[in-house]
Amino acid sequence: MVVRTAGGAEIPEAELARPPTAERVAALLQEASVTGWVDIARQLEGVAPRLYEKNGPAALAWFYLHRWARLFTTTENEIVPLWIDAVNRAKAGHANMRRSYPASDKTLAQDWPRDLQAYVLGSIGFSDQFFSLIQPLDYPPGVFAVLRGLWTADPKRFKECPALALAIAVVYDVPPPPGWPHGQVGPEALSRQLPDPAVVMAFFANADMAGAALHRLRRLPAFELKFVVDLCAPPAELTWAQQTIQTPLASFAKVYDLIRYRRDRAEIGQFMWPLPKYELPLILQQGGICVDQAYFASTVGKARGVPTLLFRGAGLDGRHAWFGFLDANGRWQLDAGRYAEQKYVAGVTFDPQTWTDINDHELKFMTEGFRKLPTYKTSRLHQFFAEEYARLGDLRAAAGAARSAVNAEPRNQAAWEVLIGLRQRLAAEPKEIEGLYQDAARAFARYPDVESGFKDRLIKSLRARGQTSLADAAERETVRKYTQTERSDLGVQQAQEILQRSLQHDDLPGRVKTFYGVLNSFGRGAGVEFFDKIVQPFVDHLLAGGETREALQAVNRARQTLRVEPGRQLEAEFNALLEKVQKAQR
């Protein structure tokens, strides 16, 4: 196989059998300066898939080269509408984003200096992280602008810390939402603005060089570093944290307890920070409630080069906040401060790349060590080529590559989605698709969030083709499994769907029967999550229809069934609901 470039030069087969050389990259850059990247991308079209069948690693390098060439030809007019559509579908927009994002015919890399283009084209390591990390919710012009700014500020530092630069780019492409890092401090006390990207890059690169970071930041991948650079505190506070908080990584969970717990605030319901400033030294001096403890610990961790997360959660008998951090062995410890007073179920935290919520169990899946193993890298290679074959219209070859991807690493969720989508496009029978849902669910048996998602799609497919009994049985099994484990929130979510379906299709006696069936089967010993999603919505539904007597009975039965302890949050919730019902009866 010989490829003729836009300028008439030939790339011989022997050269294609290995990754592109620096000389080849320089030659392509020179051609692009004359002909533009469109012709080069066209000439490289299909080269990598043909190599894939013979030489996977070399094929991947040429695949990255072609993807960059295509990106370099992409205009804002082409990509910004796709990004807006992805944000709208994911409901990821928020009040701090601009009201409009105008686009032009400017290409994404039009302002990139030539040496930055040469670097990304020739760096397989950077390309590997970039194309693995980038998501539809990343704002492409913003990502490219941040990368350009970091390179312009210090090319040497960029090349020394490329994963850090990439992490900053995907976090700083759009502003964070108003409720970040948490909603229990006012905007006058804490600015929700990210620092200057170049300042952040310099701060962490210097900390790494000086040994002030507890992790070797140059060794961490971008998908972990994004949980370091999502900063609310200014550099002066970060420097204070480095100099003042000397807790070693082996016992970093103890940073949470450095903040004295203010029971006086909790007892009077003062859940918002009461002072005009929200700064690390002041929090240490004044103490705070659990959310302040979590904010302090997670921010100190970032200052010291530790990926951290701030969790907020709802549990069996109250609400709480805690933090997670990446330990010295590269494993996430997700429950630091989690059991300080009560035992809670699941929490949610921001993914700073998308500013959407992820819960702690999803994060454990996403960041587990298998992503660094050769089997996962092999799986991802097959996935990339499945997507490339699909783009070129060869759906059967694409499906074969996707199957190779899930065979190589069954925990590659994206590969399962590609495979299922391809089989659907090839008009596979519903039973075959349902089999894929079942296979995927088994692959993620240790990851309840992902497993339950595939099971839910299986149930919906069965119901859509009239297999109601099978669907009901699968649904009951799912609810029963999760309500008996620490992921009772997933069982409650499935039970909520059962109740909502009844509210939409059944008469009043049928709705009442469904509620009590769900309550008796899945509500025994349940807590706030079940109350929020099952009890209160059903009682509100009855009140809206004027069924006050049924509403009172539902409240009393639910109170007898759920785990309601004196003096806890759930008791207060039930008291408020009972008062609401009694007021409606007057």
pLDDT at 315: 41
Going by C-beta distance under 8 Å and a sequence separation of 6 or more, which residues neighbour residue 313?
319, 320, 321, 322, 338, 344, 345, 346, 347, 348
Domain assignment present for 316? yes
Q: What is the mean pLDDT of residues 484-488?
A: 57
Domain presence at residue 193: no
| Pair 351, 251 in one domain | yes
Q: Is the peptide bond before 181 cis (omega within 30 degrees of 0)?
A: yes
438 and 532 in a single domain? The answer is: no
- Regarding whether 347 and 292 lie in a shared domain, the answer is yes
pLDDT of residue 83: 97
On whether both 412 and 437 belong to a single domain, the answer is yes
Is the pLDDT at 318 greater than 50? The verdict is no
CATH number at residue 531: 1.25.40
pLDDT bucket at 156, cuts 50 / 70 / 90: very high
Q: Average pLDDT, whole number, for the chain?
A: 89
Task: Please give the pLDDT value at position 282.
Answer: 98
HSE (CB half, 13 Å, CA atoms) of 86? 13
- Is residue 505 assigned to a domain? yes
Q: Domain for residue 219, yes or no?
A: no
Burial (0-12, 13-18, 19+ Cβ within 10 Å), 393:
exposed
CA distance 20 to 34: 20
Helix, strand, coil percent content, the chain, rounded in steps of 5? 65, 5, 30
Task: Summarize the confidence of residues 120-127 as an average pLDDT.
Answer: 95
> Biggest alpha carbon distance in the chain?
88
Give yes or no: residues 361 and 240 share one domain: yes
**Mean pLDDT of the region 245-274:** 94
Whether pLDDT at 342 is above 60: no
| Phi/psi-derived region of residue 107, left when phi > 0, alpha when psi is between -120 and 50, beta in every other case | beta
Query: Do 452 and 502 lie in a common domain?
Result: no
- Residue at a domain's end among 466, 483, 510: 466
- State whether 323 and 396 are in the same domain: no
User: Does the pLDDT at position 91 exceed 90?
Assistant: yes
Q: What is the pLDDT of residue 489?
A: 60
Last residue of a domain, one of 38, 73, 108: 73
The arithmetic mean of pLDDT across residues 541-545, rounded, is 93
In a domain, 192, yes or no: no
**pLDDT at residue 66 is higher than 80:** yes
Q: Is 577 exposed, middle or buried (0-12, 13-18, 19+ CB in 10 A)?
A: buried
Question: How many domains does the structure of the chain reveal?
Answer: 4
Domain membership flag for residue 148: no
- 421 is in which domain, residue-wise? 368-466
- What is the Cα–Cα distance from 530 to 315, expressed in whole angstroms? 10
Percent of the chain with pLDDT over 90: 68
- With 70 as the cut, is the pLDDT of residue 482 above it? no
Q: What is the CATH number of the domain that holds 408?
A: 1.25.40.10
Which backbone phi and psi does 356 adopt, to 5 degrees?
A: -105, 165
Residues 352, 246, single domain; the answer is yes
Question: Which pLDDT score, from 0 to 100, does residue 269 have?
Answer: 85
pLDDT tier, 488 (very low <50, low <70, confident <90, very high otherwise): low
The residue out of 346, 367, 388 marking a domain boundary is 367
The answer to whether position 264 is within a domain reads yes
Write the pLDDT tens digit of every residue in 210-234: 999 999 999 999 999 999 999 999 9
pLDDT higher than 70, residue 570: yes
Do 384 and 299 fall within a single domain? no
Tell me, yes or no, whether 580 lies in a domain: yes
Strand 10-11 relative to strand 3-4, pairing: antiparallel
Based on the fold, state whether residues 354 and 271 are members of the same structural domain.
yes
Same domain, 350 and 436: no
Write out pLDDT tens, residues 396-442.
Answer: 999 999 999 999 999 999 999 999 999 999 999 999 999 999 999 99
Q: Say yes or no: 346 and 248 in one domain.
A: yes
Structure confidence at residue 163 as a pLDDT band (50, 70, 90): very high
Q: What is the mean pLDDT of residues 235-259?
A: 96
Residue with more model confidence, 299 or 497: 299
- Cα angle 412, 416, 421 (rounded to 5 degrees) comes to 150
